[in-house]
Each structure stands twice: as structure tokens, then as C-alpha cells.
Amino acid sequence: MKCMNCGYVTQKDSCVMVSETLDHPSGKGFINLMQKCQICSRLGLLKLFPGCSLPLSREVSVLGDFTPVMEMEYEGLEPVDLSFGHGWVVNSLVGGKLHPINLANEREVGFYFDGQVEYSVSNVQTKLVRSKRNSL
Ligand SMILES: [Zn+2]
């Protein structure tokens, strides 16, 4: 995370999960991360919007394109990089079970068999894209 006041970039990763929420300090609903800059003490807030994701299809993957998996709003501190962790699931578009998946290993995540469907996730890459949405 980078401080939007002094520019300091934290050395330690910040973990954010949809299932872990905090009350917004101004009473405006909830947020998923609240932390202060270690240098200037500016308060940073971040909120996740998981409903903005699209399924990752084979066609998109083959083209080397990206699929949006999460939208977020922030103020005070801005994310400069991201990586996946645990807590994700693979869900086939043709039906079947949800398979827990750890995306922390970006090279090879696993193969899954679900009835007649075989699928895998590997070489996971991420990028941050700014939108013009208002901040928190
Ligand atoms: Zn700062």
C-alpha cells in the first residue's frame, strides 16, 4: 500500500478478505481494511466489491487477457500491487462442485475433475486497473 499523503510504500503486505469487515469510521457502512501510514499516520481505508467479477473463461485465458475479479474503493492509502491468497473457489460454468483453491502459488494451482469436466488454473497473473469510481 502507498500512502496518498507522504508517498511511503509499506514493506509488509496487507491481507484483505471479503468475509472480514470493519465498520467505516464515519459510520458509512463497512470497509475491509483500515490501517495507518507508518510514517505520517494518515488513515487508509479500503472496501472490496466482489459482485463486479466475471467468470474466467478458457477463451480469455488463451488470449492472455485479464478478467476482473474484484473492484475496490480506497482512500488515504492506495494499493500498488496485489497477489492472491487462500479462500478462493473454482466453480465450473457448466455446473458442479465448488473446489477450494489457493491462488497464492501463482505458477501451478491444480487440476480438478468434476464429472465430465476437467479444468485447471495456472500461471495466475494480476494487475490493478483504475476506474473513475468515487472514493469512499
Ligand atoms: Zn504517509
Distance 35 CA to ligand 1 centre (A): 11
Q: Which domain holds residue 50?
A: 1-82
Do 28 and 91 have their domain in common? Answer: no
> What's the number of domains the chain is made of?
2
Burial of 90-129, coded b for 16+ CB within 10 Å and e otherwise, reads bebeeebeebebebeeeeebeebebeeeebebeebeeeee
Do 119 and 60 have their domain in common? Answer: no
Do 73 and 37 have their domain in common? Answer: yes
Q: What is the pTM of this model?
A: 0.79
Do 72 and 114 have their domain in common? Answer: no
Distance 38 CA to ligand 1 centre (A): 7
* Residue 132 included in any domain: no
Per-residue pLDDT of 109-131, as tens digits, reads 556 665 656 667 777 888 888 87
Do 2 and 68 have their domain in common? Answer: yes
Distance 22 CA to ligand 1 centre (A): 22
**Nearest Cα residue to 51 out of 68, 34, 28, 65:** 68
Do 50 and 75 have their domain in common? Answer: yes
Per-residue pLDDT of 64-112, as tens digits, reads 888 888 899 999 999 999 888 777 777 766 666 667 777 776 555 556 6
Return the amino acid letter for 92. Answer: S
